[in-house]
Structure 1
């Protein structure tokens, strides 16, 4: 059940970027599971990728290629091509080579992406057979169909779009993402693709994506597992008739940065809202830290606690579990007598113990909501961080117990 996530809103086409979808039948016959994206010649590309040491073969190739000229991106679902060694690299390269042959570019100009079951050989022949249909389907208006084409255990496609005006020119930023389980991104999301028609120097684009990821995709967690395949790519096609952005300053850059961050945050929060088995969308806000890292440590301790997540699922205001998680987060010299904890605006703990004004009915009322904010005031400094997470339900266990069956 997706929490507060409905149909995709309008996804504006990005001049110079096209998407095509086809069926390879990797896991199920007829399932549209291959997506090809074409970038205009001269596009710049930025990427952030998983830090999992067992990173998938397509991630390895993307990291080697994305700084060069890129013309095509190819994604398959149903198979992660991870934990597959040299054979996996050869298979990912073969798919890129076939696409390159069909369109007449160098295979190094093709970036591969995969998502699905880990440890299984990539069905190269099936994917290659689907490429002509995906190419024939290329169109600037296919963002929503592509969002559905990259899904695995997602229940709904995820997309976001923004436009702004600069010197009378409309600039567009549109993106899609997928992910519902194995979510604690580290430098990226499960799979995310964002494109803009602004013209941006590669170094500026890379810094922009890294900043956007750290404000969005790197602030979500469903189950605390960092995937082998996390990849997020930002493409600037340069088709808007505006000067190239060569520095991280000025009105055009500021407007673009705001749009990219807004799209990234909407996509990241959509992943949490569609978390496997999720019935709650939970914001964990930590204020008053001595530095940002200790705020993150506290936030993730709360967001990852199975006891807190199951209490959220049961709508049980068991606030002692929150205090316990804050206490074991590893913050040095933590003075618990300065800590206040809130469920929405209900103060449940003040100065390290139950708030005098708190009643169980107040806590139960908040915990019954689909959307909840857990706010922790550390009283140590001025740093703040926000993380988004879910509860842990019976359905999450069922989905992951039966994932390969």
Structure 2
């Protein structure tokens, strides 16, 4: 298995496009609609926000995935979330799907939708339709087309997020590629994200859903920017079978290989989202090792990345290890603070901050240099067992408040 250049168009038979439809109220020239299309029907799986408040496209997609074996297209808009828009919003979402289906000569139930942006605004359906009319002729299977789609779904993101891998399954080349958006309102239980992952793997819908549901536990569920879980979180996984590998309909070597490839794609996308947190200057990676159970390791790691005091200390390059220890302590997991060890790593350097219940006598200057890296790694050795987990977040800067203070203005 190896990572390759590309995104949603990397796998055989998938086309994509991005265009400006004028939906974003503050910038009518910015690309704000994307379309992903499979030449042949693709098996579909998905996971969605756990927020009780769900966007119109989320509710429709959940229904479609439960009732349809395959789909062929996903149309996405950014700028308006189509959340808390009542029956009118649901009808407009249906119209968005229907118009896309008409342009592609597909049944409406073969088109999924996704929206991201401001909550409470109705979709400007005339602009949406014009956007769809622009998108369909632009559909291509090139890297550039995939890039355009990835750029078109972002909101406060500062860059596109793509990843693709190729692997061999029983002698056949299989490709998995994806794109994602997400920068704020990111918290475990999905995140504020739209992620579309495509693959040419020949796999059953049941196994595809099994892979998707298991995968997010170590990828999209392990990131946080601001402790807010969005209303529009959508992860869609499409498989069109064009790699022509032997049909995967049960667990085994082939399924394991597919899951490993999927994990590389989603973990990469997850880390890109954490690193691009609104106003962020650093990626914060927290690894918990030698925990008693896998779940305990996850809880402890996520407790540290979600601590505002830890995040601000990382922003200021301040080795305030007491904040890390405190975040571990209120996670709800029993441990002995006298035996654990804390380390920080960055730019190839490592430093132990805490052991035997007290500071190690480390150099504050050296600690500041390590914490000034673009990627800061914190490791907590719990001395309790053999399990481990890693979570990803970011620092908390002044710009986070600026961005969210005038998000609608």
- Shared topology, TM-score over 0.5? yes
1-side partners of 2:373 and 2:29: how far apart?
38
| Residue equivalent to 1:57 | 56
Aligned equivalent of 1:350: 355
Residues in 2 aligned to 1:124 and 1:290: alpha-carbon distance in whole angstroms: 53
User: Which of 374, 386, 397 is the equivalent residue of 1:393?
Assistant: 397
Give ranges in structure 1 of 5+ residues lacking alignment. 1-7
**In 1, are the aligned partners of 2:285 and 2:376 still within 8 Å (CA)?**
yes
Work out whether 1:227 is the aligned partner of 2:230: yes
Matched, 1:95 2:100: no
Q: Is the 8 A contact 2:58 2:234 kept in 1?
A: yes
Once residues 13 and 300 of structure 1 are traced to their aligned partners in structure 2, the CA distance between those partners, rounded to angstroms, is 32
Aligned to 1:208: 211
Q: Secondary structure at the match of 2:383?
A: coil
SS of match in other structure, 1:43: strand
Whole-angstrom distance in 1 between the partners of 2:263 and 2:333 = 29
Aligned match for 1:257, one of 256, 259, 278? 259
Aligned residue number for residue 282 of structure 1 = 284
Tell me how far apart the structure 1 counterparts of residues 216 and 167 of structure 2 sit (CA, whole Å): 21
Query: Given that residues 80 and 119 in structure 1 are in contact (C-alpha distance below 8 angstroms), is that contact kept between their aligned partners in structure 2?
Result: yes
CA distance in 2, matches of 1:244, 1:131: 34
2:245 to 210, 226, 242: 242
What's 1:180 paired with? 183
Cα pair distance change 1:249/1:265, threshold 3 Å: same
Report the RMSD for the aligned CA atoms in angstroms: 1.7
Distance 1:85 1:351 in 2: 57
In the alignment, which residue of structure 2 is the partner of 1:84?
A: 85
1:50–1:185 Cα contact (<8 Å) kept: no
Deviates more, 1:8-17 or 1:115-124: 8-17
Question: Within 2, Cα distance between the matches of 1:10 and 1:197?
Answer: 14
CA contact (8 A) 2:351 2:367 kept: yes
Matched residues in 1 for 2:100 and 2:171: separation?
Answer: 38
SS at match of 2:338: helix
Aligned equivalents of 1:139, 1:293: Cα separation in 2: 42
Do the aligned residues in 1 keep the contact of 2:18 with 2:151 (CA within 8 Å)?
no
Contact 1:49 1:188 (C-alpha < 8 Å) held by counterparts: no
Match of 2:13 in 1: 16
1:25-64 alignment, distance < 5 Å: 25-27=22-24, 28-64=27-63
Q: In the comparison of the two structures, how many residue pairs are matched? A: 395
Query: Quick check: 2:286–2:379 contact (8 Å CA) kept in 1?
Result: yes
**The residue matched to 2:186 in structure 1 has which SS?**
coil
In the TM superposition, what whole-angstrom CA distance separates every residue of 1:76-131 from its partner, at most 9, and x where no partner exists?
Answer: 00001112222221111111122222333221221110000111112222101221
Would the aligned equivalents of 1:188 and 1:213 in 2 still touch at CA under 8 Å? no
Paired residues of 1:56 and 1:82 also in contact (CA < 8 A) = yes
After TM superposition, give the deviation of residue 253 of structure 1 in Å. 2.6
Label 1:364 to 1:21 Cα distance change in 2 as closer, same or farther (>3 A). closer
Structure 1 stretch displaced more, 65-74 or 232-241:
65-74
Q: TM-score, normalised by structure 2?
A: 0.92
Distance 2:298 2:261 in 1: 25
TM-score (norm 1): 0.93
Q: For 1:40, what is the secondary structure of its paired residue? A: strand
Give SS of 1:223's match.
Answer: coil
Where in structure 2 are there 5+ consecutive unaligned residues? Answer: none
Cα deviations across residues 340-374 of structure 1 (Å, max 9, x unaligned)? Answer: 1111231111122212x423233222212221111
Greater shift, 221-230 or 158-167, is seen at: 158-167
